[in-house]
Amino acid sequence: MRSTLFAALALLVPVALTAPSIADAATPIAGRYLTEDGAGVVTVGPCDGSVCGRLTTILKKRPGAPDTDVNNSDAALRSRPILGLPILSGFTDEGKDWRGKIYDPRNGKTYKSIVARNADGTLNVKGCIAFFCQTQVWKPAK
């Protein structure tokens, strides 16, 4: 009897760990957000079965900043315009937050990312290398 109970529990535990229930769903993050430095607006929404965010407005262009993705490590992508560039990609609901990747066109690097919506409507946008993370707070754009 005891071994049957343990076998049944063993079958249930992996499902419970990998599939968040509706009660554990992350707060939706779709919307338009002003980046922490105020340089641009990222529009977040569904794309290709996940959630992504594109730079849809440039508000402050740094003097001498390129108009294309010149810092990308992939030479084939260096001519794509900064405006419309996917900044957030592949985000999926992980229960209490959203996880995917964030791209920084200033250095051409992609990082693991964790995004969570706060009660006031702002987004905590975290970029991580291993376990070192940096967080920005993006405000809803008007």
In DSSP terms, which residues pair with 131 in a beta bridge? none
Q: How confident is the model at residue 23 (pLDDT cuts 50, 70, 90)?
A: low
> Comparing 17-26, 47-56, 111-120, which segment has the lowest mean pLDDT?
17-26
Which amino acid is it at 67? D
Distance of alpha carbon 18 from alpha carbon 13, whole angstroms: 9
Distance of alpha carbon 85 from alpha carbon 87, whole angstroms: 6
Q: Let me know: does 127 contact 102? Beta carbons within 8 Å.
A: yes
For the chain, give the number of residues.
142
Distance between the two ends of the chain, CA-based, in angstroms?
62
Tokens of 74: 């992939």
Q: How confident is the model at residue 3 (pLDDT cuts 50, 70, 90)?
A: very low
Tell me the fold of 23-140.
Lipocalin (2.40.128)
Whether the per-residue pLDDT at 141 is higher than 50: the answer is yes
Distance of alpha carbon 93 from alpha carbon 83, whole angstroms: 26
Arithmetic mean of pLDDT, 33-53 = 96
59-109: pLDDT as tens digits? 998 888 899 999 999 999 999 999 999 999 999 999 999 999 999 999 999
pLDDT of residue 82: 96
Distance of alpha carbon 57 from alpha carbon 25, whole angstroms: 29
Q: Quick one: CA torsion of 130, 131, 137, 138, rounded to 10 degrees? A: 30
Q: Give me the sign of the Cα torsion angle 42, 67, 79, 128.
A: negative
Give the pTM: 0.81
